[in-house]
Amino acid sequence: MTIITERTVLLTGASRGIGTFIARALAKEKATIVGISRSQDKLEQVSAEVRALGGRWIGIPYDISRLEGLPLLVQQITQTAGSIDILINNAGVELYGKFQDYSTNDLQLVLTINLLSAMELCRLVLPTMLRQKRGHIVNVASLAGKKGVPYDSIYSASKAGLLMWGDSLRQELACTGVKVSTICPGYVSQCGMLADTGVPAPILAGTSTPSDVSNAVIRAIKQNQVEVIVNQDVMTVGTTKLLIAMCQLFPLIGDAVYRWIGVPKLNQIRAENQMHAARKLSKKDQKLLQQLSEEYCEQESIFDDLRSGRRSSQHC
């Protein structure tokens, strides 16, 4: 059993969606929560809720897709809050579309935020956990990582990677005192892409709530559960497990079931809705995006210069 009370928890994707529900659930356990998100304003909103529930909150605005800055981020956290006892890799991004229509930037964005940032944060906090002989890594994956989802292939790949990496890591860390749990929600109502695109989940697939997911995270930590599938109810969870097993044994039958319940068609609609929303960007928004892109490229150039300078000094 992993104790949450008075432990320091690093939570990514903390300012919106499922992340806010996880933050509230941790606050009820009287944890110290270090919330990471790009939005300072939204972090401050969560801060008030967490403190009202009895938790301690430290919000740090940071874009975790900037992998090169994560060592400094972890250093800042440990100096402010002490060693990290629990890492919850919750941040995620999902882009629907036909695979051939994705850009290289789309591939890098989804894989970096959903998978590489989680791996890098874990790599950075793990040595301290091993020295302390205690700690817990929680990866919020998805059922899309169990069975690939059409028109959502990059997301499916990133979550499958998260699942398999967590599985491998758990075996490496056996008998070290550091535990690894993976949470696999299906369709989640009220927030995320299901809400953002306005397209309902397939009727027979079942939906869970953000509270269901946050409760599953707390249970997984307290009870050291290896993997938790989150769906509408116990019966739906059981049916989902059977379907996943069948997909492993008979992949084409699994594909046919997905077509029957409408997964490809509904995701195609989500992809079209997402594309139309992107096209509605005003000229002002497009100009802002261009400016941000140029600033990003300029920062990357500075990092390259610094790296080159460091390499040159090493050769001198």
265 token code pair? 């068609």
> Which residues, 6+ apart, have CB-to-CB distance to 293 below 8 Å?
none
Residue closest to 227 by CA, chosen among 168, 157, 166 = 166
Alpha-carbon dihedral 171, 176, 177, 182, rounded to 10 degrees: -20
- For residue 177, CA distances in Å to 133, 135, 221, 245 come to 5, 7, 13, 30
Q: Is 96 a catalytic residue?
A: no
The single residue of 155, 187, 258, 296 carrying the catalytic annotation is: 155
User: H or E stretch including 260?
Assistant: helix 251-261
229 contacts 240 by C-beta, under 8 angstroms: yes
Alpha-carbon span 229 to 76, nearest angstrom: 34
Contact between 190 and 145 (Cβ < 8 Å) = no
Of 170, 137, 169, 153, whose CA–CA distance to 267 is shortest?
A: 153
Judge whether 137 and 163 are in contact, CB under 8 Å.
no
Catalytic residues: 155
